[in-house]
Amino acid sequence: MNYFYFEFLIGVLLLLSLLIFLNSNFVNIISLIFLLFIVTNFNILDFYSTWEITMKIICIIFGLFIYNTLNKQDINSIGVLILSVILAAILIISCSNLLALYICLELQSLSLFILIARKRNELEKVEAALKYFVLSSLSSGLFLLGSALCFIINGSCDIYILSTNILSIEKSLIIVALLFKLASAPFHIWTPDIYQGCDNKSLLILGILPKISIFTVLITILPNSKLVLISTILSLLVGSIGALNQTKIKKLLAYSGIINMGFIFLGLATNSYSGLEASLLYLIIYSISFLLFLLLIDIVDSKQNNIIGLSNIGNINLVILITLVLLILSIAGIPPFAGFFVKWIILEAAISYNFLLTSIISVLCAVVAGVYYLRLVKISYFQEDKSFLTWKKVLIKENKLYYNNSIISSLLFFLVCFILLCPHILKELAHLSVLSIF
């Protein structure tokens, strides 16, 4: 277990947050100074592989982005919990022992449970938190049972024992537990209701960091391609069809996450260098898009829940509307946006390894999913019945605009456009990261 620099940084910030108020600017400065000090004075490759370094830096960057979206009141109430989830995510990436991994997964799950349930006077959020707690406990039980069987059969809990193409009982149990936490079909049932019950701040952290960290573990285990392929096809079908009749934004995001996990698994199912590289790129672009979408909704109206409410964005801020529409087109995979670029390299990797039928299914599912993405564009620009939403804006006090959210949204949108203009930079980063695994 390679616990050292990055864990020390987040651990120190976590301890400080228990003692004093940690302003987001202070956290940014401390993190930047610490990372520069490590890079200039230590050879971190002696402790980490390139893959570990990349995934931990990605977790820290997204974690800091989310922390910077918090206002003073949010930092006082949930700053510690968000730092706990970031710490758990980078510890999960470091784990080489199944029992240590179980403890880190529980730290992450319990922090997320408290984060979702913190508004005890809102029934929907308490219900979502209890559902997450119960179903996450079931998943953790399966993981622990698989770990116990692994120790009984092999005499060790080392995670690399499972790094074979043989699909044993203990390995199946552990993979099922991880697929549950990744919200991939057929273990996705919890996702729509829990996403719907979360507020935007909780959903930001729930929808990004656990997926990045657990994806890293799943790659370490190198599961059987057939098992991943089944989950890929089911995720694509469920995610594309399930969102067609949704009227709630967060439920639509849940099904969008399921279909995107299907595309990520399609690269992973090839069990190849190019497929893994494509999956990593897709995960990064999906995380950026998910974060940006929620931030844009939060800037306009933090309590906005219905899709029909998007028709009022043009009356509030035309720049946000244009940004949101371009982002939706990117998520839908419309060229020449970043979403099209990552879908293309995923399909290229799958076709090159003769996953032809799965590639055809994925294209058809992407077309079906494009229907509900374009429906969002239609509602945003062309919805006629806007009068009641306009009066709502006049009569109800407008949300206070936090400039951190605007700056982060602009930066994330720039990243999407930059990837569109210079994709080779991100591709080289993924290439160097994946190179250390093979």
Q: What is the mean pLDDT of residues 431-436?
A: 80
Q: Cα(354)–Cα(348) distance, rounded to whole angstroms?
A: 10
Mean pLDDT over 250-272 rounds to: 89
CA distance 189 to 37: 45
Residue 135 has pLDDT above 70, yes or no: yes
Q: What is the pLDDT of residue 268?
A: 87
Asked whether residue 228 is assigned to any structural domain, the reply reads: yes
- All residues at 6 or more sequence positions from 203 whose CB lies less than 8 Å from its CB, including other chains: 195, 250, 253, 294
State percent of the chain over pLDDT 70: 88
- pLDDT-derived band at 384, boundaries 50, 70, 90: low
The answer to whether residue 186 sits within a structural domain is no
The mean per-residue pLDDT over the stretch 140-162 comes to 88
Average pLDDT over residues 259-265: 92
φ and ψ at residue 158, rounded to 5 degrees: -65, 130
Query: What is the spatial distance between Cα 276 and Cα 269, in angstroms, rounded to a whole number?
Result: 9
Residues 6+ apart with CB under 8 A from 38: 5, 44
Q: Name the band, by pLDDT with cuts 50, 70 and 90, for residue 88.
A: very high
Q: How far is CA 237 from CA 187, 252, 367, 415, in A?
A: 13, 14, 11, 30
In sequence order, what are the residues at sequence separation of 6 or more whose Cβ sits closer than 8 angstroms to the Cβ of residue 122?
none
Q: Which residue has 């370094």 as its token pair?
A: 53
Mean pLDDT check: name the lowest of 38-52, 110-124, 341-355. Answer: 38-52
Report how far residue 159's alpha carbon sits from residue 374's, in angstroms, rounded to the nearest whole number: 43
More confident of the two residues 97 and 402: 97
Least confident of 12-16, 118-122, 265-269, 353-357: 118-122
Identify the weakest region by mean pLDDT among 27-31, 226-230, 385-389, 405-409. 385-389
- Rounded Cα distance between 138 and 141, Å, is 5
pLDDT at 381 exceeding the cut of 70: yes
Tally of CB atoms within 10 A around 257: 25
* pLDDT reported for residue 263: 92
Q: What band does 154 get if pLDDT is binned at 50, 70 and 90?
A: confident
Cis amide prior to 186 (ω within 30 degrees)? yes
pLDDT for residue 246: 81
Whether 145 maps to a domain, the answer reads no
Answer whether residue 198 is part of any domain: no
Average pLDDT of the chain is 82
Which pLDDT tens digit goes with each residue over 386-421?
Answer: 555 555 554 555 555 556 667 777 777 777 777 777
Measured between alpha carbons, how far is 158 from 117 in angstroms, rounded to an integer?
A: 34
Q: Which domain holds residue 279?
A: 224-438
Inter-residue contact 307 to 248 (CB < 8 Å): yes
Residue 412 within any structural domain of the chain: yes
Classify burial at 397, counting beta carbons within 10 Å of its beta carbon; exposed 0-12, middle 13-18, buried 19 or more.
exposed
Confidence tier at 302 by pLDDT (50, 70, 90): low
> What's the CA gap between 258 and 391, in Å, rounded?
36
Q: Who's near 409: CB < 8 A, 6+ residues apart?
A: 292, 295, 296, 299, 323
Span 106-111, average pLDDT: 91
pLDDT surpassing 80 at residue 70: yes
Question: Of the given ranges (45-49, 107-111, 267-271), which has the lowest mean pLDDT?
Answer: 45-49
The DSSP secondary-structure symbol of 161 reads G
- Where helices occur in 270-317 by DSSP H, the ranges are 273-300, 313-316
Check pLDDT > 60 for residue 363: yes
Decide if 401 is inside a domain. yes
Write down the pTM of the prediction.
0.91
Report yes or no on 306 lying in a domain.
Answer: yes
Is residue 216 assigned to a domain? Answer: no
- Distance, in Å, from the CA atom of 57 to the CA atom of 39, rounded to the nearest integer, reads 12
Structurally, the chain folds into a number of domains equal to 1
Q: What is the pLDDT of residues 316-342, one digit of tens each?
A: 777 788 888 888 888 888 887 888 888
Q: Is the pLDDT of residue 109 over 60?
A: yes
Dihedral angle sign, alpha carbons of residues 56, 87, 28, 326: positive
d(CA 366, CA 350): 15
pLDDT digits (tens, 9 = 90+) for 277-291: 899 999 999 998 898
Q: Is residue 225 predicted with pLDDT exceeding 60?
A: yes
